[in-house]
Amino acid sequence: MDIKSSLAAQQYAATRPATAPKPDAGAGGLGAFGQVAADFATTLQQGEDVAKAAMTGGADPHSLVTALAQSELAIETAVTVRDKVVEAYQEILRMPV
């Protein structure tokens, strides 16, 4: 099977909007989980922006450390939630039917 990279890229670009979350999905727009995910992405983006600014001399070291600490806390929280979800799923699988 011969797949050309340009065809694959076009197919990906065509299907990407189908996988994007819809703004009116859930209660109140994004819903609780969607809002948490959006906040997480915003925190990571802000940390990345401050890191880029610090590399070019546009941000002081204190703001860089603060942004990195916030990003680290957000990632640790996401990992903890993921671990709890996996643990709960495994508990459900162990339940007798």
Highest mean pLDDT among 12-16, 20-24, 87-91: 87-91
Model-wide pTM > 0.75? no
For residue 21, which phi and psi values (nearest 5 degrees)? -65, 145
Burial 4-30 (b: 16+ CB within 10 A, else e): eeeeeeeeeeeeeeeeeeeeeeeeeeb
Domain ranges of the chain: 22-94
Query: What are 44-94's pLDDT values in tens digits?
Result: 999 999 999 998 888 888 998 999 999 999 999 999 999 999 999 999 999
